[in-house]
Amino acid sequence: MDFPFQPVEKFLLPIHGSDELFPVNQVYCVGRNYAAHAREMGVDDRKPPFFFTKPIYSITTGDVKYPPNTEDLQHEVELVLAVGEDMSIFGFTIGVDLTRRDLQGQAKKDGKPWFRGKSFVGSAPISRILPIKGFEELSDLELRLKVNGELRQSGSCADMIWPPQELLCEMAADVPLKQGDLIFTGTPEGVGKINTGDIIEASIVNKIELSFKII
Ligand code: MN
């Protein structure tokens, strides 16, 4: 097939224990999926979760350049689902939904989209994909996030308002979920500010780790 220019290459994530690579399609995120985090953001924790997206250029497996136009870059540690064929769960991993909180807050006030708050190069650091057999493996995962060795976030996926299987059903009713899609499933409480030079260590306890620096 001919193109007027070279097509942009797919982002490919390593798969744990395999030589195959996971070709990323869309990146979806869930807002407000843990009641305690909803409360710390000053919103009613009985309101249902909702969805937004991040561009492909958000995804990174390396260090993150401090983004422009913000003085309040914040971390949100999240379980990430990796969608397989026919809306199956291929696997999961750990990711951080980096957020320009000041821009997000202003957008909320102005009734504008969250785009600038959530979308910048490297705003979705992620680890390699761990393949799984079923949803049952995702029920009681423990999430952790440390900044410069200090524990900032600690939460259990058992506290999700919508657990993974329900999330998938809710999303599938609204968007054409495809193999290669990633779903950031929301963050537990404890989000906070990070700065240039900080080392972020995120993990799913006893499963997988992710480490990057803000440069
Ligand atoms: Mn988030």
The residues whose Cβ lies within 5 A of ligand 1, an ion, are 76, 97, 187
Q: Work out the percent of the chain whose per-residue pLDDT is above 70.
A: 100
Domain spans in the chain, listed from the N-terminal domain onward: 12-213
- Residue partners of 123: CB distance under 8 A and separation at least 6: 54, 58, 64, 67, 97, 98, 99
For residue 186, report the distance from its CA to the centre of ligand 1, in Å: 5
Cα separation, 198 vs 96, in Å, equals 14
For residue 78, report the distance from its CA to the centre of ligand 1, in Å: 7
Query: Is residue 85 over pLDDT 90?
Result: yes
Q: Rounded mean pLDDT of 186-204?
A: 97
Query: Is residue 30 over pLDDT 90?
Result: yes
Per-residue confidence (pLDDT) for residue 35, from 0 to 100: 87
For residue 79, report the distance from its CA to the centre of ligand 1, in Å: 10
Please tell me the CATH superfamily of domain 12-213, with its number. Fumarylacetoacetase-like, C-terminal domain (3.90.850.10)
Confidence category of residue 46, pLDDT binned at 50, 70, 90: confident
Residue environment code for 149-174, b if the CB has 16+ CB neighbours within 10 A, otherwise e: eeebbebebebbbbbbeebbebbeee
Whether pTM > 0.75 for this model: the answer is: yes
Query: Is residue 47 over pLDDT 80?
Result: no
Query: Is residue 45 over pLDDT 80?
Result: no
Per-residue confidence (pLDDT) for residue 33, from 0 to 100: 92
Cα separation, 115 vs 31, in Å, equals 13
Q: Rounded mean pLDDT of 101-118?
A: 96
Query: Is residue 79 over pLDDT 80?
Result: yes
Strand partners, 95: 78, 126
Secondary structure of 99-139 as H, E, C letters = EEHHHHHHHHHHCCCCHHHHCCCCCEEECCEEECCCHHHHC
Chain centroid to CA 61: how far?
Answer: 12
For residue 1, report the distance from its CA to the centre of ligand 1, in Å: 39
Confidence category of residue 121, pLDDT binned at 50, 70, 90: very high
For residue 5, report the distance from its CA to the centre of ligand 1, in Å: 35
pLDDT winner (highest mean) among 161-165, 173-177, 197-201: 197-201
Query: Is residue 140 over pLDDT 80?
Result: yes
Strand partners, 61: none
Cα separation, 54 vs 63, in Å, equals 18
Tokens representing 161 are: 């308002």
Per-residue confidence (pLDDT) for residue 27, from 0 to 100: 97
For residue 53, report the distance from its CA to the centre of ligand 1, in Å: 10
